[in-house]
Amino acid sequence: MSFITRGFSGRGRDRDPRLPPGQTLVEDWPVLSAGPTPDIDPADWEFVVATENGRHTWNWDEMHALGVEDITVDIHCVTHWSKLEMAWRGVPLDKIFENVETSYDYVMAHSYGGYTTNVPLDELLDGQAWIAFEADGEPLTPEHGGPARLLVPHLYFWKSAKWVRGLVMMPSDDPGFWEQNGYNLHGDPWAEERYW
Amino acid sequence: MKLDGNAIAGPLAEVFGRDVTLAVMTCSGCHESAVIARAMVYVTAMGSVARCPTCDRALLVLGPGPGARIRFSMPGVSSLELTPDEPDAA
Amino acid sequence: MTHRPAAWHAATVRSVSRETASARRIEFEVPTWPGNDAGAHLDVRLTAPDGYQASRSYSIASSGDSRRVVLAVDEVPGGEVSPFLVHELQPGDQVEIHGPLGAYFVWTPGDERPVQLIAGGSGVVPLYAMAELHDREQDSTPFRLLYSVRTPDDRFFASELEQIAARGRLEASYVYTRAVPAGWHSAPGRVTRDALAAATWPVDRRPRIYVCGPTPFVETVADWLTELGHEPRAIRTERFGGG
């Protein structure tokens, strides 16, 4: 029964050719919190990769020792905002997987607080993903996923799991938290893979 | 934004066809029960997540689908008890 | 409680008036409205010419069987719906509303336990609906209101609440967080646990307590009430936010 309310246009929805379809540029950095914000001391932080063969773990210093990179990337949230040319610092997943043997093709990222999201392994390698500690020159705050979050900028930003604590290898592409609740298994912003 | 179960009364009424804020949910994690109105609800632009007031487990998720569709799931609810029109069911 | 199914309705603006410097009272005519209990809320949905939609929840200031529905909307700066409702909406305009919603945060006459209303800012709207119904129905339950608000000019339903209090139907206490009237008994500041204990029904009166306001206000007050010994089940809360 929807009808138009006179004079209502909604918030400005301008277009920019650098943006994927349906996205709007923002200058601030919106926070999307679907649960309590965990408070994790880097001294207690531990990162785990679990495969069919066993577990690999890194503490905060061991992770940094793998080699931190500076990168500049655009990020695109499925809720229609994008930020262009954000400076990040983090360890590429290529370094993490150098010594990990697995025959499985899919990854479930797990976060402190229970959040999960699924990504194919080949979309995390070859310079496509990082464990990030800093954005715009500052350590990541807890509300933005600090002390460490997954950064997979070529997919919608829900794939860049805040408060990441590990990756579990899977033989099939099982859905994570939002993927079980209506969001696309893959999430390519240029193909507008928002929902199922 | 952290609110409570009152905040999702509208979308839940779309799902159930009536107001269900007095329905009693039992958490499959900690087994505590509470009316939906007492759940902690995180309202986000991606969807709303109702969490157990005792253990924070995600009980209900309301996500959007294409167009005006609503996708509803109950990942953490072991049972849902509906008591019709009882003002003091809480 | 009357069964009042939630549904979508076309609502036509009858009148708009200034509520406070940042808020507006809006009266709708809703021919299909089933009426609502005191404390219920509704969702307002706006649709743009290109099909874009936005909706927000608002508590209803009116109650009963009337087809007249009153809202008092506070503008959230930078919000998408409330600035439109406060500045643009005019008599004769139509919006969609979904309701009545929320069978939990409602009060119905005929219960003997005293009622304690505790409001933070625009959270007074559903509590005003309860106090107004209690007054209109000549209900004998004793009612108290503790209202925390920035300044005296920011009070919603200020004259209506004063009139209900003047008729002896409500004991109202105010806490001003930013500015106080001349000669006020204390400096501006937030509610404290002691002030809460002093201004509300004691535990042995077994009050039904309704707390509505921004999330941090509601959580602080609800924790103090529990510490003071009130039964958690007697404390009903409604948090709001977003515009």
Query: Per-residue pLDDT tens for A68-97?
Result: 999 999 999 999 999 999 999 999 999 999
Please give the Cα distance from A25 to A85 (Å, whole number): 11
Rounded to the nearest 5 degrees, what angle is found at the Cα of C196, between the Cα atoms of C193 and C197? 90
**Which of C43, C68, C101 lies at the terminal end of a domain, its last residue?**
C101
- Say yes or no for a CB contact (<8 Å) between C104 and B90: yes
- Say yes or no for a CB contact (<8 Å) between C47 and A3: yes
Question: Under CATH, which number does the domain A45-191 receive?
Answer: 3.90.420.10
Same domain flag for C90 and C191: no
Nearest Cα to C239, choosing from B14, B42, A31? B42
Please give the Cα distance from C224 to C199 (Å, whole number): 13
Please give the Cα distance from C183 to B31 (Å, whole number): 53
Same domain flag for C50 and C95: yes
pLDDT at B1 over 80: yes
Same domain flag for C87 and C119: no
Q: Which of C44, C47, C86 to mutate to test the interface with A (most CBs of A within 10 A)?
A: C47
Residue C156 in domain:
yes
Average pLDDT of chain B to the nearest whole number: 90
Q: How confident is the model at residue A10 (pLDDT cuts 50, 70, 90)?
A: confident
- Exposure of A171 by Cβ count < 10 A (0-12 exposed, 13-18 middle, 19+ buried)? exposed
The CA distance from B72 to the nearest CA of chain A, in Å, is 7
- Domain total of chain C: 2
Size of interface B-C (CB pairs under 8 A): 76
Same domain flag for C86 and C125: no
Residues of A in contact with B71 (CB under 8 A): 181-182, 195-196
Please give the residue of chain B at the shortest CA–CA distance from C39.
Answer: B6
Residue C49 in domain:
yes
Please report the pLDDT score of residue C51 as a whole number.
87
Residue C228 in domain:
yes
**Which of C77, C101, C125 lies at the terminal end of a domain, its last residue?**
C101
Q: How confident is the model at residue B84 (pLDDT cuts 50, 70, 90)?
A: low
Please report the pLDDT score of residue C1 as a whole number.
53
Query: Between residues B77 and A99, which one has the greater pLDDT?
Result: B77
Nearest Cα to B41, choosing from B50, B54, B33, B31? B50
Average pLDDT of chain A to the nearest whole number: 94
The answer to whether B70 contacts chain C (CB < 8 Å) is no
**Which of C101, C128, C158 lies at the terminal end of a domain, its last residue?**
C101
Residue C189 in domain:
yes
Please give the Cα distance from A113 to A162 (Å, whole number): 10
Nearest Cα to C65, choosing from C41, C35, C109, C96? C35
Please report the pLDDT score of residue B88 as a whole number.
45
Please report the pLDDT score of residue A14 as a whole number.
55
pTM (2 decimals)? 0.90
Nearest Cα to A160, choosing from A78, A105, A101, A38? A78
A147-171 average pLDDT score:
98
The CA distance from B7 to the nearest CA of chain A, in Å, is 14
Please give the Cα distance from C225 to C234 (Å, whole number): 10
A45-71 average pLDDT score:
98
- Given a contact cutoff of 8 angstroms between Cβ atoms, the answer to whether A64 and A108 are in contact is no
Please report the pLDDT score of residue A196 as a whole number.
80
The answer to whether B80 contacts chain C (CB < 8 Å) is no
pLDDT at B68 over 80: no
The answer to whether A27 contacts chain C (CB < 8 Å) is no
- φ and ψ at residue B71, rounded to 5 degrees: -110, 120
pLDDT at B90 over 50: no
What own/partner pairs with CB < 8 Å and gap ≥ 24 does A137-144 have? A137/A87, A142/A37, A142/A38, A142/A39, A142/A40, A143/A31, A143/A33, A143/A37, A144/A29, A144/A31
The answer to whether C39 contacts chain B (CB < 8 Å) is no
Residue C107 in domain:
no
Same domain flag for C86 and C156: no
Please report the pLDDT score of residue B70 as a whole number.
84
Per the omega criterion (within 30 degrees of 0), is the bond before C181 cis?
Answer: no
Tell me: the pLDDT tens digits for A118-137? 999 999 999 999 999 999 99
Please give the residue of chain B at the shortest CA–CA distance from C107.
Answer: B87
The CA distance from B28 to the nearest CA of chain C, in Å, is 22
Residues of C in contact with B86 (CB under 8 A): 1
Please give the Cα distance from C72 to C18 (Å, whole number): 9
Give the domain range for residue C92: 7-101
Please give the residue of chain B at the shortest CA–CA distance from C242.
Answer: B1
Q: For chain A, give every domain's residue range.
A: 45-191
Which residues between 40 and 59 in chain B have a beta carbon less than 8 angstroms from any beta carbon of chain C?
43
Please give the Cα distance from B36 to A53 (Å, whole number): 43
Residue C108 in domain:
no
Please report the pLDDT score of residue A9 as a whole number.
78
Residues of C in contact with A7 (CB under 8 A): 84, 88-89, 93
Q: Would you list the DSSP string of A69-82?
A: EEEEEEEE-TTSEE
Q: Dig out the tokens for A49 from the structure.
A: 């990769």
Nearest Cα to A121, choosing from A59, A67, A191, A168? A168
pLDDT at A11 over 80: no
Residues of A in contact with B2 (CB under 8 A): 33
Residue C166 in domain:
yes
Same domain flag for C206 and C235: yes
Please report the pLDDT score of residue C4 as a whole number.
86
Please give the Cα distance from A100 to A58 (Å, whole number): 12
A47-51 average pLDDT score:
98
- Say yes or no for a CB contact (<8 Å) between A182 and B1: no
Please give the residue of chain C at the shortest CA–CA distance from A8.
Answer: C48
B38-49 average pLDDT score:
95
Q: How confident is the model at residue A1 (pLDDT cuts 50, 70, 90)?
A: low
Pinpoint the alpha helices (H) of chain A: 60-65, 93-97
C-alpha dihedral (A40, A43, A49, A54), degrees to nearest 10 = -130
C-alpha dihedral (B82, B84, B86, C1), degrees to nearest 10 = 150
Q: Which of B44, B46, B54 to mutate to test the interface with A (most CBs of A within 10 A)?
A: B46
- Say yes or no for a CB contact (<8 Å) between A114 and B2: no
Please give the Cα distance from A9 to C95 (Å, whole number): 13
CATH of the domain at C11: 2.40.30.10
Residue ranges in chain C modelled with pLDDT below 70: 1-2, 242-243
- Given a contact cutoff of 8 angstroms between Cβ atoms, the answer to whether C38 and C84 are in contact is no
- φ and ψ at residue C65, rounded to 5 degrees: -85, 0
Mean pLDDT lowest among A10-24, A45-59, C101-115: A10-24
